[in-house]
Amino acid sequence: SRLLQLWGQISRTSEDRFRRAQTTVRLGSIMPLGYESEIARQLAKLTAGWAASHPRQPLFISSTTAEELLRGLKSGAFDVVLLDTETLPEDLEGAPIAASGLAVVGAKGNDIAAALRDRPIALPSPRSGLRLRIDALLDMTFDDTERNRLTLVEIDSIPVILNLVLHYGFASVLPLASVASIRPDLHSIPLPSTFDMQYWLCWLGSAGRSAAGIAVLDTIRRATMHAPP
């Protein structure tokens, strides 16, 4: 009788752990700039909506680079990912959920070329969607000779980049709304809407992944419809 009692206690906890592991939806996201960033707002909105609509299905969220997100999606580490990309890779399904305007920050005046030429530029590595936008801006603004003279410092941490801009005289290209929320007096030069960051929720096209992705997307859309003005 004692053995059966102990086995019942062990099996109950293991069954609960197994159920949680099997039902948990694992969402990977690019790293937010800060708590006021568009990514952070979208993830908070999703978490609150998911807890209300899926109380017995946990949602696990972690952040990393776009390259790691795609690798994790294909290996099964993530069921759904939030990416900053202009277009969705051909082997993925998904939909855009938000957009954010970009700006050159950390320099005076309104001349983009001067702002980027006169200061070291802190930027993420080519593994991020934001870096692709920055590279397009640099290609449009400078010829090859001028670009080779730029001082570029690659850092895969948006908070560190922001600190370099705020305290160490660097320039960068960052989401305008996020920067304005963190430091309203920080001078910025808004970029045309063609440089806007598109945030995509995406997943692999298999049956289980599609179901998880559609459920997460539906939660975000319903949360947006019922968000306070």
Give pLDDT tens digits for 90-147: 889 999 988 889 999 987 888 999 989 889 999 988 877 888 889 999 999 999 999 9
Of the candidates 143, 141, 134, the one whose C-alpha atom is nearest the C-alpha of residue 171 is 134
Q: Which of 4-8, 98-102, 180-184 has the highest mean pLDDT?
A: 98-102
CB 208 within 8 A of CB 79: yes
| Sequence-ordered alpha helix ranges (H) in the chain | 2-23, 38-53, 66-75, 112-117, 129-141, 144-149, 158-167, 176-182, 207-225
Tens of pLDDT, residue by residue over 153-177, are 998 888 888 889 989 999 999 988 7
Q: How far apart are CA 163 and CA 153, in angstroms?
A: 13
Q: How far apart are CA 226 and CA 141, in angstroms?
A: 42
Q: How far apart are CA 219 and CA 25, in angstroms?
A: 13
Q: Which residues contact 147 (CB under 8 A, 6 or more apart)?
A: 138, 139
The pLDDT value recorded for residue 55 is: 84
pTM confidence score: 0.76
Q: Which residues contact 132 (CB under 8 A, 6 or more apart)?
A: 86, 126
Q: How far apart are CA 82 and CA 158, in angstroms?
A: 16
Confidence bin at 21 (pLDDT 50/70/90): very low
CB 102 within 8 A of CB 133: yes
Helices (runs of H) and strands (runs of E) counted in the chain: 9, 10
The pLDDT value recorded for residue 108 is: 80
